[in-house]
Amino acid sequence: MSRSSTLTNVTALVFDTYGTVVDWRASVAAEGRALAQKKRIDGVDWEAFADAWRAGYHPAMKKVRSGERPWTTNDVLQRERLDEIVAEFGIKGLSESDKDEFNRAWHRLKPWPDAVKGLKRLKRRYIIGPLSNGSFFLLANMAKHAGLPWDCIISADNFHHYKPDAEVYLGAVELFGGQADRVMLVAAHNYDLEQARRHGMKTGFVLRPTE
């Protein structure tokens, strides 16, 4: 992200996390391979498995966003999705506690190689934190594991709303004192940036070719 005059008045930078800060696909696939070795599971394409897991993300959140389902944190949605894809991929021999543990792979996602260094630099000038649909607990654990130097954590859990619901962007702005143009969303996904802009936030784009 290049510095520009738009940053002069910004006090806080909030980051989309999955895809923007951490490499979820490689991280989840690596945990899948480690589990496969331990449990003698053969023939699974773990990158495809990670993609299938992630593919359940938006549909599950959509049910919550539409009100079809009451507020449910992402840890629970991801765990439900895991049951579906374990069956789809024909994986046998995983206990409930194996699956609970595998679900926590999302708490241990690895950062993109430039992420920690870049965040440390930005932290000197700005308050930095995620603004993510990931659960608060997940984001806190992820930061510990990945060494992400967040000043604070802002999750969909804080608003009982998922992005791109307006409540998430407006809620983050309120937490930082109510001036939308002093808060910047940094993300690799255009739908997210468009919503932030619509609510008066500044935006910064990070190119991640696989996102």
Q: Contact between 94 and a copy of itself (CB under 8 A)?
A: no
State how far the alpha carbon of 188 is from the alpha carbons of 67, 84, 95, in Å.
27, 28, 36
Sole binder of a copy of itself in the list 39, 117, 121, 144 (CB under 8 A): 144
Cα–Cα distance for residue pair 56/45, rounded to 1 Å = 17
Q: Contact between 14 and a copy of itself (CB under 8 A)?
A: no
CB of 136: closest distance to a copy of itself in angstroms? 4
Asked if residues 138 and 106 have their Cβ atoms less than 8 Å apart, the reply is yes
Asked if residues 103 and 81 have their Cβ atoms less than 8 Å apart, the reply is no
Find the part of the chain contacting a copy of itself (CB under 8 A) among 32-40, 41-49, 77-85, 136-144. Answer: 136-144
Q: Contact between 116 and a copy of itself (CB under 8 A)?
A: no
CB of 71: closest distance to a copy of itself in angstroms? 10
Site for a copy of itself in 174-193 (CB under 8 A): 174-177
CB of 47: closest distance to a copy of itself in angstroms? 28
Asked if residues 90 and 174 have their Cβ atoms less than 8 Å apart, the reply is no
Cα–Cα distance for residue pair 168/86, rounded to 1 Å = 32
CB of 30: closest distance to a copy of itself in angstroms? 24
Residues 6+ apart with CB under 8 A from 44: 32, 36, 89, 91
Q: Contact between 162 and a copy of itself (CB under 8 A)?
A: no
CB of 160: closest distance to a copy of itself in angstroms? 10
Least Cα distance to 27 among 197, 168, 178, 142 occurs for: 142
Site for a copy of itself in 50-79 (CB under 8 A): 75
Sole binder of a copy of itself in the list 33, 54, 112, 158 (CB under 8 A): 158
Query: 133 φ, ψ to 5°?
Result: -75, -10
List of residues contacting a copy of itself (CB under 8 A): 12, 75, 127, 135-137, 139-141, 143-144, 150-153, 155, 157-158, 174-177
